[in-house]
Chain A
Amino acid sequence: MLLQVDGLRKTFGRRVAVDGIGFSIDVGEIVGFLGPNGAGKTTTMRMIAGYLEPDEGTAKVFNIDITQERRRAQERVGYLPEGAPLYGEMTPWSFLRFVAETRGMSREAARHAVRRAAQDARLGDSIDRPIDTLSKGYRRRVGFAAALLHDPMLLILDEPTDGLDPNQRHAVRDLIKKLGEERGLIISTHSLEEVEAVCTRAIVIDQGRIIADKTPAALIDEHGTLERAFAALTRGEERT
């Protein structure tokens, strides 16, 4: 099993952000996290990526518990944070070198990894331009390349197409589909169209809990469309 999550729970003060979430992912699966804002999607991803410590529960990457052996687990995970924060004064090349070397790669290995990841993320000629001068779509690709540098089997992408124009979104979706052929992916998104286009499974989260874990096709069968499924499953939040 690529990822096994059991009983993850996280509170911020008195607010319960994630309340006992559990699921598993295998190679070849592209899992879409769906849910309203504040549902707990990003917090769950941050816990799996080792950015936040869960109050309870575990997340095991290749059976390595992120709460017990954080760095070993992080070596096997590629993570694209929401908004893909980068260092604007660097070029994609120097930024990716920095990430590779921080991951402990030798200079030669880093050079090789950067070349491969830049190619996979289709960075093209933008590799030597300052990140601050790149379009949002290219910056997102740099974030993708950083997540791919160490060739991880598990990729966690927090809103990878948010704020992109339709062409850029289309390009990123193609990339996600390609990456998902040999890896396991978790993507969080507000775009139901994206879930239908790229995901093999949809996990709907609301108020910190999983309320549905099915294929997009099964959700459409039950509710007619994904929009209706989303509205029916998450309407509890609107009532409160």
Chain B
Amino acid sequence: MKKRPGLASMLAIYRRELLSYVTTPTAYVFVAVFLFSIGLFTFQVGGLFEARRADLSAFFAFHPWIFMVFLPAVAMRLWAEETRSGAIELLMTLPAPTWSLVLGKFLAAWSVAAAALLMTLPLWITINILGAPDNAAIFTAYLASLLMAGAYLAIGSMMSALTPAQIVAFVLSVLVSFLLTALGLPLVLDFFSGLVGGGVAEVLARFSIMHHFDAAQRGVVEFRSVFYFVSLIALCLGFTTLAVDARRGG
């Protein structure tokens, strides 16, 4: 008996990718370095305890900057490695829709990011022991962070599909992620205002990851921000599918 082909192949590739993450050092190194970096920034730069506030704003504030560097490292191998090893030929001669392969790989990488976020839960517990934080707001911020991680991974997946060299995929992903993140910074906004006028700069800022993560990290759920992240993920995965399919043209 056959399952629905797209769903079956998506689940199969999801499991394979996840297995590949846990049987190689990639995921462990990522999670360890992520936890170390987020701890360093939260306590040393953000001064979580010195602020004497029962919230995690000092923790979430650094997520875009840390994700922007670490998640491209997780995503860079998604397609570039398949191309380098020649396994892409095996995958593309299986009767599976390309979108299912793209989605399966993306979801596996996203699961690694989710696992890394889960490991920061002791911080949330600690804050609850020390004070009385707004747990709903923290929960919202976690969900927003997860969505944002998905966006960075989708950018990484797209870049990985464009080149067989993992390092090139990584550099391109960090570059695009940085541009999308920094668009919302006052310094960058001022620069663009001088170039293209305040109105256009204001519109550009609305496409910034920071702009959409800002409200969410304070616990405010905005539909447009959810829509932004979901659209960004869908758009990048759509381009990934097109890029992978384009290989059939030689």
Interface residue ranges, A against B (CB under 8 Å): 10-12, 46, 49-53, 70-72, 74-75, 77, 79, 81-83, 85-87, 89-90, 94, 98-99, 101-106, 108-109, 146
Give min CB distance, B128 to chain A, whole Å.
40
A200–B24 alpha-carbon span in the complex (Å): 45
Chain B residues, Cβ within 8 Å of A106: 1-3
Also in contact, A102 and B96, with CB within 8 A (given A12-B250, A52-B248): yes
Asked whether, in the complex, the Cβ of B12 is within 8 Å of the Cβ of A10, the reply is no
Asked whether, in the complex, the Cβ of A79 is within 8 Å of the Cβ of B8, the reply is no
- The chain A residue with its CB closest to the CB of B15 is A98
Asked whether, in the complex, the Cβ of A52 is within 8 Å of the Cβ of B250, the reply is yes
Asked whether, in the complex, the Cβ of A50 is within 8 Å of the Cβ of B92, the reply is yes
Asked whether, in the complex, the Cβ of B5 is within 8 Å of the Cβ of A50, the reply is no
Asked whether, in the complex, the Cβ of A50 is within 8 Å of the Cβ of B93, the reply is yes
- The chain A residue with its CB closest to the CB of B104 is A102
Q: Does B16 contact A (CB under 8 A)?
A: yes
Chain A residues, Cβ within 8 Å of B11: 101
Give min CB distance, A147 to chain B, whole Å.
9
Chain A residues, Cβ within 8 Å of B94: 74, 99, 102-103
Asked whether, in the complex, the Cβ of B19 is within 8 Å of the Cβ of A90, the reply is yes
Also in contact, A85 and B90, with CB within 8 A (given A51-B248, A52-B248, A53-B249): yes
A85–B16 alpha-carbon span in the complex (Å): 15
Also in contact, A85 and B85, with CB within 8 A (given A104-B2, A104-B5): yes
Count the A-B residue pairs with Cβ separation under 8 angstroms: how many? 93
A216–B209 alpha-carbon span in the complex (Å): 65
- The chain A residue with its CB closest to the CB of B84 is A85
- The chain B residue with its CB closest to the CB of A101 is B12
Chain B residues, Cβ within 8 Å of A70: 95
Give min CB distance, B197 to chain A, whole Å.
43
Asked whether, in the complex, the Cβ of B93 is within 8 Å of the Cβ of A85, the reply is no
- The chain B residue with its CB closest to the CB of A12 is B250
A215–B19 alpha-carbon span in the complex (Å): 47
Asked whether, in the complex, the Cβ of B87 is within 8 Å of the Cβ of A49, the reply is no
Chain B contacts with A in 212-249, Cβ cutoff 8 A: 248-249
Chain B residues, Cβ within 8 Å of A101: 8-9, 11-12, 15
Chain B residues, Cβ within 8 Å of A77: 93
Asked whether, in the complex, the Cβ of A81 is within 8 Å of the Cβ of B86, the reply is yes
User: With A86-B90, A87-B87 given, can you name 13 additional A-B contacts, CB distance below 8 Å?
Assistant: A50-B248, A51-B92, A51-B93, A74-B94, A74-B95, A83-B86, A102-B12, A103-B9, A104-B96, A105-B2, A105-B8, A106-B3, A109-B2
